[in-house]
């Protein structure tokens, strides 16, 4: 029971890695508040996870909505011990596509702006709302979802990689700013993980991902959840400002 009586807020907790993290935290004694824009999936997840889970409909890119949710959580539960900034989206595409010297396609500005708003600004909004709570209560843990592509880059993901590299930078800044308040800030960088997003990709792409992973398989959401659990627990009490790769040994592009 490594998180006994802790209160954890998991954004993007309705599905995939977020839902697995919520489940893992509950198994270890925490109360978990799932924040997500997908009300149907969020309510389903909270119902499945039982009385120690609750769902809040939140668009993390909306600062006011985030603050309202945090206020409601504090009013009901009195504290937030762990924040997992997991919410994220993809809008992949080449920056530009040129054929025979002619520009035929480029990444739409709206796709760049949307991914930045959710993945990067969302983490900013949630941390800015929760950090004062943790400071007042004397400590806490903030965990940010980055990615191996935020470290290594990846074709067709200018917007996504920019957000994940930005999250790594913010993690290191916040670890410095909040350390004196006994708030630890770390990031987890998953490799290719078998979530709903990956399930929609062609099988040949998934096979290629698997073949390039030294451990010979895709990650499971629970693999990533276990990393979040470790970093949230007292076992990681002297770890802050770190980026933990959970990737089966892959280096993107090799």
Query: Is position 11 within any domain?
Result: yes
Alpha-carbon gap, residue 235 to 222, rounded angstroms: 18
In the prediction, which pLDDT does 74 show?
Answer: 98
* Cβ neighbours of residue 71 closer than 8 Å, sequence gap 6 or more: none
Q: Do residues 154 and 202 lie in contact, with contact meaning Cβ atoms separated by under 8 Å? A: no
Pick the catalytic residue: 56, 160, 228, 238?
160
Instruction: For residue 41, tell me if it sits in a domain.
Output: yes
Please, what's the largest Cα pairwise distance for the chain? 62
Secondary structure tally for the chain: helices H, strands E: 10, 9
164 in a structural domain = yes
| Lookup result for tokens 């600004």 | 121
Residue 253 belongs to some domain of the structure? no
C-beta of residue 172 within 8 angstroms of C-beta of residue 111: no
- Asked whether residue 181 is domain-assigned, the answer is yes
pLDDT digits (tens, 9 = 90+) for 95-150: 999 999 999 999 999 999 999 999 999 999 999 999 999 999 999 999 999 999 99
Q: Is 160 a catalytic residue?
A: yes
- Domain assignment of residue 183, yes or no: yes
Task: Say how many C-beta atoms besides its own lie within 10 A of residue 201's C-beta.
Answer: 12
Examine residue 254 and state whether it is found in any structural domain, yes or no. no
Q: Count up the domains in the chain and report the number.
A: 1
Q: Is residue 114 part of a domain?
A: yes
CATH number of the domain within which 114 lies: 3.40.50.720
User: Which residues form the domain of 89?
Assistant: 7-246
At 152 the pLDDT is 92
- 252 pLDDT tier (thresholds 50, 70, 90): low
Distances (CA, A) of 88 to 13, 148, 164: 10, 14, 10
């Amino acid at each position: 029971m490594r998180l006994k009586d802790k209160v954890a807020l998991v954004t993007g907790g309705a599905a995939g890695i977020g839902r697995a993290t919520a489940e893992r935290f509950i198994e270890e004694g925490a109360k978990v508040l799932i924040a997500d824009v997908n009300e149907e999936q969020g309510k389903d997840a909270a119902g499945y996870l039982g009385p120690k889970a609750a769902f809040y409909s939140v668009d993390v890119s909306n600062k006011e909505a985030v603050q309202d949710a945090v206020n409601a959580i504090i009013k009901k539960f009195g504290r937030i011990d762990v924040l997992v900034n997991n919410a994220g989206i993809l809008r992949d595409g080449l920056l530009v596509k040129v054929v025979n010297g002619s520009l035929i396609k480029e990444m739409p500005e709206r796709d760049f702006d949307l991914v930045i708003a959710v993945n990067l600004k969302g983490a900013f909004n949630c941390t800015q709302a929760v950090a004062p709570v943790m400071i007042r209560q004397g400590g806490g843990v903030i965990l940010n979802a980055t990615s191996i592509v935020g470290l290594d880059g990846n074709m067709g993901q200018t917007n996504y990689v920019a957000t994940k590299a930005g999250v790594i930078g913010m993690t290191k800044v916040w670890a410095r700013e909040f350390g004196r308040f006994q708030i630890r800030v770390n990031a987890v960088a998953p490799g290719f993980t078998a979530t709903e997003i990956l399930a929609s990709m062609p099988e040949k792409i998934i096979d290629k991902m698997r073949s390039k992973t030294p451990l010979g398989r895709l990650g499971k959401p629970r693999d990533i959840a276990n990393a979040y659990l470790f970093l949230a627990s007292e076992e990681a009490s002297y770890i802050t400002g770190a980026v933990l790769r959970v990737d089966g040994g892959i280096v993107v592009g090799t």
